[in-house]
Amino acid sequence: MAGCGADPAPSASPPSVAAAPTSAAPATPEESPGASGQTTETPAPGISGDGTHSDNITHLANVPPGAPLNGPQSWGTDLAFQGDYAFVGNFDGFTVFDISTPASPSVASRVLCPGEQNDVSVSGDLLFLSIDSAREGPECDAQRGEPEADGWEGIRIFDISDKANPTFVAAVQTDCGSHTHTLVPGKTPDKVYLYISSPGPEPGTVTCAPPHNKISVVEVPVKDPKSAKVISKPVLSDKPAEGGIGGCHDLTVYPEKNLAAAACFGDGILLDIADRVNPKVLQHVSDKKNFAIWHSATFNNDATKVVFGDELGGGVSATCDSNTPKTSGANAVYDLGKDRRLKLRGYFKIPREQASDENCVAHNGSLLPVPGKDIMVQSWYQGGISVWDFTDATEPREIGFFERGPVPGVGGSWSAYYYNGHIYSSDITKGLDVLRIDDPLTDPASKVRLKELNAQTQVSY
C-alpha cells in the first residue's frame, strides 16, 4: 500500500495533532486554528497546468499540500476512501478530504502525526497508519527514536467518527515496523485484521532481529481498538532474498476468494487466507532477470489474473528511459488457474519514454469496475498516471494517461485509484489530484458505487 523513499528531515511543525475545519469557500484560502492551537491553511483547489494527457482524461482539480503538512519532505503517500471522503497519507500525518463534489474537493481536517510512510486504510470509524521509522513512542508528539533498537514502530489507530476531528486512540508495535499494511475483514463484523509488511532484518536491533521472513497479523476488536494486538507472525519464506533482505513490501487480499498476493523482497507469493490469522503459502514466483523489488499486487475481478509491479530503483531512479528494458520497472501479468497456480503471461510498462532525470517506476493502482474487462489505473511517479487494459494478458495496452513531466528530485503520483466515477491521485509533492476518464471502454465503471475502498482489500464488483 505504499512505496519506498528516503528518510525525511524532522518536521518543522510541532509534533501534535491538528485538525483544520473544512473551508466553506474552497476557492478562497482560509486560515483556521487547529486542535493544538496552531494556525493551519486550507489551500484552494485548482487545475495544475503544464502537464500532458490523453484526450480521454480530464484533470478536474488539484489541492496542494497545506500547513502543517507541507515540510520539505512531507511527501504524499497512500489513499483510502469512505463515503464522500478521501483519506490521504503524508510523511507528517494525513488529510481528510470532502470529495462530495469531486471537481472541488475541500479539506475536512489535517492531522499532524509524523512517521513515514503513514500508509493509510479505513474501516468504519477506525483509521490505521503504518509507521516504519523509529519514534520515541507511539504518540503523535513522539520525536524520532535514537538509536533504532530503542525506537517504536508499528500501527497507529485513530477514531474518525468525526471527520473534522480525528483522534488518536491506540497503537501496536510490530517487528521491523510497518512499511505498509493491508486491512482484512474478519469472518464476523466485530473484528478486523491488519497484515503488516516491512523489510528487514536490522542486525543489532531489538525490534527487527534476523531472520525477518514473515509478516505480522494484528487483530483489532472493532468496539475496543485499544486492545488491538499482534496475534500471529506467519512465516512466508524459509530464506531471505538476495542481499539478506526479508519480509514483504506490500500485500493485497481478496477476502471473498480467500486469496492474497504478497509482493515480497525477492519474489511474489500467493496465499490462502481462509484462516485469516494463519495464511497458508500456495506458491512462490520469481523473476530474477527482470524484477528488482516486488512492490505491489492486484487481482482482476474474477481472480483469474494477478498483476505484480516492480519498483526498480526503489522509487528514486529513472527507470522509464531508453537505458531500461521494457520488462524492468514494469508490471508482470500472471494467469491464476483453477488449480491456484500462477503462470507468467506478459509485461506492461508505460509507452512514453521519460527523461534521464525523472524518477519513474511502477507504483500503486486499482481496478476500474468494467464488466468483462481487466482495466486498472496506476501511478508511475513522474511517469504520471496510466489507465491500461490487461484483458489480453499477453498484449496489455495503455488507453489513457496524465503526467506533469519532470520535477526537481523525487515526485509524481504515489498512488492512483478509481473510486465512484473518478480517479484520485496522491502526488508526492503536489497534493491531491482529481481526474476523470471518458471513454466507451471505461464508461461502465461510473455506474458502480462503493461505500468504502481500501485498494489493497479487493471486493467483487
Model pLDDT for residues 170-200, shown as the tens digit of each residue: 999 999 999 999 999 999 999 999 999 999 9
**Could you tell me the three cell numbers for 81?**
476512501
Domain boundaries, the chain: 43-453
Determine the Cα–Cα distance for residues 150 and 200; give it in Å rounded to an integer.
16
CATH node for 43-453? 2.130.10.10
Identify the pLDDT of residue 10.
34
Inter-residue contact 22 to 164 (CB < 8 Å): yes
Q: Given a cut of 90, is residue 89 above it in pLDDT?
A: yes
What's the Cα-to-Cα distance from 51 to each of 221, 315, 409, rounded to whole Å?
45, 21, 17
The better pLDDT of the pair 1, 84 is held by 84
110-169 pLDDT per residue, tens: 999 999 999 999 999 999 999 999 999 999 999 988 656 678 999 999 999 999 999 999
Task: Compute the average pLDDT of residues 335-359.
Answer: 95
The DSSP string of 27-82 is TS-EEEE-TTS-EEEEPPPB---S-EE-TTEEEEEEE---TTS--TT--EEEEEEE
3-state helix, strand and coil shares in percent for the chain, rounded to the nearest 5: 5, 45, 50
Identify the pLDDT of residue 242.
67
**Could you tell me the three cell numbers for 394?**
499477453
Contacts (Cβ under 8 Å, ≥6 apart) of 96: 85, 86, 87, 107, 108, 109, 110, 111, 160, 163, 164, 166
305-331 pLDDT per residue, tens: 999 999 999 889 999 999 999 999 999
- Look at the block and give the residue holding cell 488518536: 168
Inter-residue contact 268 to 285 (CB < 8 Å): yes
Determine the Cα–Cα distance for residues 73 and 337; give it in Å rounded to an integer.
43
Residue length of the chain = 461
What's the Cα-to-Cα distance from 29 to each of 5, 18, 42, 111, 235, rounded to whole Å?
30, 17, 5, 18, 50
Q: Given a cut of 50, is residue 16 above it in pLDDT?
A: no
List, in sequence order, the alpha helices (H) in 237-357: none
Residues paired with 403 in a beta bridge = 52
Residues paired with 82 in a beta bridge = 85, 452
- Mapping DSSP to helix (H, G, I), strand (E, B) and coil, where does residue 6 land? coil
Shortest CA distance to 387 belongs to which of 54, 63, 81, 47? 54
Q: Given a cut of 90, is residue 229 above it in pLDDT?
A: yes
Determine the Cα–Cα distance for residues 11 and 19; give it in Å rounded to an integer.
17
The better pLDDT of the pair 14, 266 is held by 266
Residue type, position 33, single letter: P
351-409 pLDDT per residue, tens: 999 998 899 999 999 999 999 999 999 999 999 999 999 999 999 999 999 999 888 88
Question: What is the pTM (predicted TM-score) of this model?
Answer: 0.91
The better pLDDT of the pair 310, 29 is held by 310
Determine the Cα–Cα distance for residues 212 and 198; give it in Å rounded to an integer.
9
Inter-residue contact 248 to 233 (CB < 8 Å): no
Half-sphere exposure of 304 (CA within 13 A, CB side): 9
Beta strands in 286-356 (DSSP E): 294-299, 305-310, 331-336, 342-348
Shortest CA distance to 207 belongs to which of 242, 178, 243, 249? 178
Task: Kindly indicate the confidence band of residue 207, based on its pLDDT and cuts at 50, 70 and 90.
Answer: confident
424-453 pLDDT per residue, tens: 999 999 999 999 999 999 999 999 999 999
Residue type, position 328, single letter: S
